[in-house]
């Protein structure tokens, strides 16, 4: 009787071991899959945040900052609905002259544009690393000072073009021109205010987190 009981234990114990091994293997597999999924979600989230950050950070364009703009006279004629040939000729000549002057400014001030782009790109990258965008306002002011002489010359060309159009166009046509011009100027930097607000929010959040960490230390 004792021998039979001993043999029965010998048969049962391996079965328990097999069950335990199966359960343990299943647990490890499930844990590995869960960990992999969480890591993948974290990676995707980081990539999405990086993409959103890039979308919120438009590329530095120093010429746009200087309000450099050239017009397509055919588009202007179409927008203003100018039908008479003499007036179309006046518009084409005025815009061609304006574009030529702007091209001269772009060529002559190429080095300044390049310096401003490099300067702001460097400062932006530094701010990203430190997550402190509070210094970007000062950097933007410095860049604006570098571009100020160019902006004055661009404004002179804008005023010269507007003076010609005010003289040659009807009141209704001239109002259409000013509206069109303003819309084109806004296209130069449509997300500037959004970007500055985003940077300010990020900087404020980072400072609050740092202050919270300092309070916990004490």
pLDDT, tens only, 144-178? 999 999 999 999 999 999 999 999 999 999 999 99
Residues listed for the chain: 218
Question: Is 163 within 8 Å of 48 (Cβ atoms)?
Answer: no
How confident is the prediction along the chain (218 residues), in pLDDT tens digits per residue? 444 444 444 445 666 666 666 666 666 666 666 555 666 555 555 455 544 544 456 788 999 999 999 999 999 999 999 999 999 999 999 999 999 999 999 999 999 999 999 999 999 898 888 888 888 889 899 999 999 999 999 999 999 999 999 999 999 999 999 999 999 999 987 665 444 445 455 455 555 555 555 555 54
Angle value at C-alpha 31, between 25 and 35, nearest 5 degrees:
145
Query: What one-character DSSP code corresponds to residue 58?
Result: P
Angle value at C-alpha 102, between 167 and 90, nearest 5 degrees:
30
Measured distance CA(187)–CA(156) in Å, rounded: 20
Query: What one-character DSSP code corresponds to residue 59?
Result: P
Measured distance CA(195)–CA(199) in Å, rounded: 6
Instruction: Check: pTM over 0.75? Answer yes or no.
Output: no
Measured distance CA(108)–CA(149) in Å, rounded: 12
């Amino acid at each position: 009787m004792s021998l039979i009981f001993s043999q029965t234990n010998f048969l049962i114990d391996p079965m328990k071991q097999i069950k335990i091994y199966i359960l343990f293997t299943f647990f490890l597999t499930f844990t590995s899959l869960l960990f992999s999924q969480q890591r993948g979600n974290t990676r995707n989230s980081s990539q999405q945040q990086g993409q959103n950050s890039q979308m919120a950070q438009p590329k530095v364009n120093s010429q746009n900052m200087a309000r450099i703009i050239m017009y397509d006279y055919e588009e202007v004629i179409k927008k203003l609905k100018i039908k008479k040939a003499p007036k179309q000729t006046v518009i084409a000549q005025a815009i061609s002259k304006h574009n030529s002057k702007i091209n001269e400014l772009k060529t002559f001030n190429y080095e300044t544009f390049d310096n401003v782009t490099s300067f702001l790109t460097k400062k932006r990258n530094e701010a990203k690393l430190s997550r402190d965008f509070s210094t970007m306002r000062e950097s933007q002011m410095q860049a604006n000072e570098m571009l100020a002489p160019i902006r004055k010359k661009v404004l002179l060309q804008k005023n010269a073009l507007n003076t010609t159009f005010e003289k040659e166009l009807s009141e209704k046509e001239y109002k259409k021109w000013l509206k069109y011009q303003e819309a084109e100027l806004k296209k130069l930097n449509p997300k500037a205010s959004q970007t500055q607000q985003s940077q300010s929010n990020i900087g404020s959040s980072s400072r609050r987190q740092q202050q919270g960490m300092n309070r916990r230390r004490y």
